[in-house]
Chain A
């Protein structure tokens, strides 16, 4: 088995407004070796690189979210779970060249297969979900959104408090493993709180997620044990990054008209 160190021309693009994906650190890149096909097959030096995904670091140090999310928890959640999904996905893609050369967004939608997910969906979606989740948090987060985002929340939920209650209630009533999202619904042109199971993700039906909370038990068990309520409150009050949500909704407005369309008058 050979592994090549190549300068990463990054194929794992993430559609985030302030990053072009390539400026992030990609850890543990390993290109699958395509040698050892048979006795007569000569091993080649460089194999065709078709697509691979890397483990993206969270945009903060692993201890930056203390005491609301411990370094120990992040080391396991990011270093073992998220990493495991990346490795699992790369292993699956080694064997399935129909799925090569998609961006991660596209791969999630394709493998979701309109509700009959292909085997690669779980890994692909969980890689996407965790990248999105780390970026939805920041040290010194919590508090309240401002300006246009706050106005939109008040418009669609009545008040920020209402929204917060709804989000917390959704997190506590999600049975099993899953995610809770603040999404911008593309057709209805409004914000909503959405619960999904296991790895499912609202981009699968073309909505635009703005922030998420991981409610799988592994996301909080080491710090909060069974007390999901305490975890959700810590997230809402100290971790969620309204800056990031603002940037995401600004970008979303390029695709969804939230108010009256601004038609220039000649």
Chain B
């Protein structure tokens, strides 16, 4: 069943880069619940690209809400499954996809960002840098492409740099709402995701999403993306 991968601690840990201090606990019923992972930097550390106010709201309110609702939906799912209530199980899918996706996506997002002193914005070297040049022409070309797709996205969603682990190819994709990248292709692994929901930039950039996209590259953590890439394409 498609739900299994979501509930396996190992799968989630590898998808979201959780370490043992990440946000997974096991309740007395054997149902794994999730909690908000800590940011590896201060809320204000990404200024002026992203304001401290946005980081705090984004992390403490938005991400937390996804986690809370995800846990609730999982518990309801557990109940429905043990009762054999098929309609209820099916009805819960959208809440799980949305809130679970929100949790998965944001967990990746925090790792995609780093303060400038911590290497944020430093271009990728090594195999990822080479692959980007090979596939897109240059890092600049990749950035332009992602910015264009991010700006053109209607409504809420994400723009991704991913790698197809079967074809060993880099891809740029967008997903809507909180759909994880894997919904665009089962062999796609996210390297960098940029949140283009309005809550990710509104207080600072208002409706000028292109400015947010231009500036966020100054705090993108290419080191993490390179590590992930190295794992999938050794």
Measured CB to CB, the closest approach of chain A to B79, in angstroms, equals: 19
B207 close to A (CB within 8 Å)? yes
Interface size class of A (residues with CB under 8 A): 10 to 19
A222 close to B (CB within 8 Å)? yes
Interface locus among B18-26, B44-52, B161-169, B198-206: B198-206
Interface locus among B3-11, B57-65, B182-190: B57-65
Chain A positions within 8 Å of B94 at CB level:
175
Q: Is the CB of B203 within 8 A of A221?
A: yes
B176 close to A (CB within 8 Å)? yes
Q: Is the CB of B155 within 8 A of A216?
A: yes
The residue in chain A whose Cβ has the minimal distance to the Cβ of B97 is A175
When A218-B198, A222-B202 are in contact, do A81 and B207 touch as well, CB less than 8 Å? Answer: yes
Q: Is the CB of B155 within 8 A of A76?
A: no
B98 close to A (CB within 8 Å)? yes
Measured CB to CB, the closest approach of chain B to A10, in angstroms, equals: 26
Q: Which of B57, B176, B198, B206 contacts A216 (CB 8 A)?
A: B198
B177 close to A (CB within 8 Å)? yes
When A197-B155, A198-B155, A216-B155 are in contact, do A225 and B61 touch as well, CB less than 8 Å? Answer: yes
Chain A positions within 8 Å of B199 at CB level:
217, 221, 226
The residue in chain B whose Cβ has the minimal distance to the Cβ of A216 is B198
B127 close to A (CB within 8 Å)? no
Chain A positions within 8 Å of B62 at CB level:
226
Chain B positions within 8 Å of A84 at CB level:
207
When A197-B155, A198-B154 are in contact, do A175 and B57 touch as well, CB less than 8 Å? Answer: no
Q: In chain B, residues 191-212, which have Cβ atoms closer than 8 Å to a Cβ of chain A?
A: 197-199, 202-203, 206-207
Q: Is the CB of A221 within 8 A of B61?
A: no
Q: Is the CB of A218 within 8 A of B155?
A: no
B156 close to A (CB within 8 Å)? yes
The residue in chain B whose Cβ has the minimal distance to the Cβ of A198 is B155
Chain B positions within 8 Å of A221 at CB level:
198-199, 202-203
Chain A positions within 8 Å of B176 at CB level:
176
Contact with A along B85-99 (1 / 0, CB 8 A): 000000000100010
Q: Is the CB of B207 within 8 A of A218?
A: yes
Contact with A along B202-224 (1 / 0, CB 8 A): 11001100000000000000000
Docked complex Cα distance between A178 and B157 (Å):
13
Q: Is the CB of B57 within 8 A of A226?
A: yes
A137 close to B (CB within 8 Å)? no
When A80-B206, A175-B177, A221-B202 are in contact, do A226 and B61 touch as well, CB less than 8 Å? Answer: yes
